[in-house]
């Protein structure tokens, strides 16, 4: 009885194994399981065709043989891409989901250069390259000597990297004030000045304590609206004080 029992188990196991091997061989040969389409999601600034071209997905190859990691790395080499994830939809589609870098500010230097929260400088805006995320245009502009290195390998100066870190923290903690800033400039001594959207009023923050001073400014602005022609300056360079100069 025991021999019959184990014999049946062996028979069914062998049968299923052979069937599986046969099925796998059939799937591998079947043209229906070969890559016929590449789908790209998450594009706002980039075009789907650009991402697909950079991905270089091997078309007509068995969908089971496509390696995801090399595709993701090729896509992430595109300047606007922060992260790429590759997956498949049976029977014949490769999906590339991208996460684009979000513009934190625009650098005014012979044109406008988007920069993200990590200080990554993106390609200069061109007439045929629009930032399709509306929030990207509602960002402050950095002016003055922003770059420590120009040319093909542009690099932010240390002082302006501090400004980027400040803006990144401000956007996450006080988006209303962040969106209320039109322009920022840091002088050679490291003193930061920014200009408000309302009235273009300059706000002097000095060399340090920018977040604390910004919080103080935000409370002040809840009670006093700096309309054009009323305020000339708002000065926060003094400890626990706000000094205003009116017309």
In this structure, are 132 and 208 located in the same domain? yes
Give the CATH number, domain containing residue 93. Answer: 3.10.20.310
In this structure, are 118 and 210 located in the same domain? yes
In this structure, are 94 and 124 located in the same domain? no
Residue 2 forms part of a structural domain? no
In this structure, are 87 and 193 located in the same domain? no
Nearest to 92 by CA among 135, 46, 125, 59: 59
pTM, rounded to two decimals? 0.80
Residue 177 phi/psi, 5° resolution? -70, -40
In this structure, are 229 and 170 located in the same domain? yes
Could you give the CA distance from residue 108 to residue 202 in angstroms, rounded to a whole number? 18
247 residues of the chain, pLDDT tens digit each: 544 555 555 444 555 444 444 445 544 556 678 999 999 999 988 999 999 999 999 999 999 999 999 999 999 999 999 999 999 999 999 999 999 999 999 999 888 999 999 999 998 887 766 666 655 668 999 998 888 877 777 889 999 999 999 999 999 999 999 999 999 999 999 999 999 998 899 999 999 999 999 999 999 999 887 765 677 899 999 988 999 988 6
Residue 216 forms part of a structural domain? yes
Could you give the CA distance from residue 29 to residue 80 in angstroms, rounded to a whole number? 38
Residue 20 forms part of a structural domain? no
CB 145 within 8 A of CB 118: no
Residue 18 forms part of a structural domain? no
| Domain span holding position 130 | 105-246
Number of domains comprising the chain: 2
Could you give the CA distance from residue 237 to residue 233 in angstroms, rounded to a whole number? 12
Q: 3-state class of 63 per DSSP?
A: coil
In this structure, are 149 and 57 located in the same domain? no
Q: 3-state class of 73 per DSSP?
A: helix
């Amino acid at each position: 009885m025991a021999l019959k029992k184990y014999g049946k188990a062996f028979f069914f196991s062998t049968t299923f194994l052979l069937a599986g091997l046969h099925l796998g061989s059939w799937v591998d040969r079947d043209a229906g399981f070969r890559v016929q389409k590449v789908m790209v999601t998450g594009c706002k600034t980039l075009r789907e065709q650009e991402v697909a071209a950079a991905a270089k997905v091997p078309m007509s190859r068995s969908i089971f043989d496509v390696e995801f990691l090399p595709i993701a790395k090729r896509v992430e080499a595109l300047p606007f891409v922060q992260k790429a994830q590759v997956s498949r939809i049976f029977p014949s589609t490769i999906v590339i989901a991208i996460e684009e870098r979000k513009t934190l500010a625009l650098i005014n230097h012979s044109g406008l250069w988007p920069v993200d929260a990590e200080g990554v400088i993106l390609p200069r805006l061109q007439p045929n390259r629009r930032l399709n995320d509306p929030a990207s245009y509602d960002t402050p502009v950095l002016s003055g000597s922003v770059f420590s290195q120009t040319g093909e390998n542009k690099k932010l100066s240390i002082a302006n990297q501090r400004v980027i870190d400040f803006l990144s923290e401000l956007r996450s903690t006080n988006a209303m004030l962040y969106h209320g800033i039109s322009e920022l400039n840091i002088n050679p001594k490291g003193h930061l000045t920014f200009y408000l959207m309302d009235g273009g009023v300059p706000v002097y923050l000095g060399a340090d304590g920018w977040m604390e001073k910004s919080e103080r400014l935000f409370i002040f602005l809840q009670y006093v609206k700096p309309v054009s022609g009323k305020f000339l300056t708002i000065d926060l360079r003094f400890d626990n004080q706000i000094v205003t100069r009116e017309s």
